[in-house]
């Protein structure tokens, strides 16, 4: 997977399988991998399966697809039953991890400070951290979407680290799995705002961070979304579980 060290950023299409998938589904990863080897695409491709499948997913991907985790602990080792460290993810062959997803913020009470600690852990282990942010429907209706997301960026990103080790996943909470989504103008406005926040946080290095859109991304709307200003890829949920649908989204990225 490419890093954000040049002026041109390779888009990133990341699939989040969430708590779906047994060994029988590894064939979906293999199918996408085979297709990409036969006909390359204009994006980095990442799939984040459940932790139980990580090592086998790396084998199925055969180097054509990057594999990542869905969360990590902020500690490298210790008596933390059930937790997985960033180093453990790296040891399976993973190269990235999703942190701060809204489902973890809501269901597990993760704060911005906890997310920032996990971002640092991912950097320590040499993993790309996809840092998720997003507003609720009530916050958007109250006109607070930009402020909420800006505050999450400020609180969830360490002050000192390589910006190339981070991507931002913007997922409006109300759009995840709902079939609803912001208008193209609203997506553009938010992504431009996120870019401004990143530059304010990291200076010129903030211009090189990929900003992914997530929330009801599917084959029928991917091309339009990926063509919008400051959209540097997509964070795909349910549509990443089926090889044909996910590949269609990946191939929606226009040539550089």
Say if 256 falls within a structural domain: no
* Domain ranges, residue 19: 12-250
Say if 142 falls within a structural domain: yes
Residue 52 to residue 71: CA distance in whole angstroms? 13
Residue 226 to residue 1: CA distance in whole angstroms? 19
| Backbone Cα Rg of the chain | 17
pTM of this structure: 0.95
Assign residue 66 the CATH number of its domain. Answer: 3.20.20.70
Say if 53 falls within a structural domain: yes
Say if 4 falls within a structural domain: no
Tell me how many domains the chain contains.
Answer: 1
Say if 255 falls within a structural domain: no
> pLDDT tens-digit profile of 13-71?
999 999 999 999 999 999 999 999 999 999 999 999 999 999 999 999 999 999 999 99
Say if 198 falls within a structural domain: yes
Q: Which of 87, 101, 239, 247 is catalytic?
A: 101
Which of 215, 198, 222 lies closest to 41, judged by CA? 222
> pLDDT tens-digit profile of 152-200?
999 999 987 888 899 999 999 988 777 788 999 999 999 999 999 999 9
Query: Quick check: is 101 catalytic?
Result: yes
In contact, 135 and 173? CB cutoff 8 Å: yes
What pLDDT shows up at residue 6? Answer: 44
What pLDDT shows up at residue 5? Answer: 46
> pLDDT tens-digit profile of 105-134?
999 999 999 999 999 999 999 999 999 999
Q: Which of 28, 110, 171, 230 is catalytic?
A: 171
What pLDDT shows up at residue 237? Answer: 95
Query: Quick check: is 108 catalytic?
Result: no
């Amino acid at each position: 997977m490419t890093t954000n060290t040049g002026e041109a950023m390779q888009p990133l299409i990341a699939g989040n399988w969430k708590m779906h998938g047994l060994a029988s589904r590894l064939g979906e990863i293999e199918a996408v991998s085979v297709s990409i080897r036969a006909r390359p695409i204009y994006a980095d491709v990442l799939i984040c399966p459940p932790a139980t499948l990580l090592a086998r997913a790396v084998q199925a991907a055969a180097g054509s697809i990057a594999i990542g985790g869905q969360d990590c602990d902020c500690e490298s080792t210790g008596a933390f039953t059930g937790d997985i460290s960033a180093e453990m993810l790296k040891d399976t062959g993973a190269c990235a991890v999703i942190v701060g997803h809204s489902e973890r913020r809501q269901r597990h009470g993760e704060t911005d400070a906890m997310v920032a600690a996990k971002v640092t852990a991912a950097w320590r282990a040499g993993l790309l951290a996809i840092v998720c942010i997003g507003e609720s429907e009530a916050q958007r209706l109250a006109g607070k979407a930009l402020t909420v997301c800006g505050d999450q960026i400020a609180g969830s990103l360490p002050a000192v680290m390589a910006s190339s080790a981070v991507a931002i996943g913007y997922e409006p909470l109300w759009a995840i799995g709902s079939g609803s989504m912001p208008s193209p103008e609203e997506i553009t406005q938010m992504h431009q705002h996120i870019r401004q926040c990143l530059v304010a946080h990291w200076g010129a290095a903030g211009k090189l961070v990929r900003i992914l859109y997530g929330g009801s991304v599917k084959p029928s709307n991917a091309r339009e979304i990926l063509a919008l200003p400051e959209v540097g890829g997509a964070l795909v949920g349910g549509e990443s579980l089926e090889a044909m649908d996910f590949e269609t989204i990946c191939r929606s990225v226009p040539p550089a």
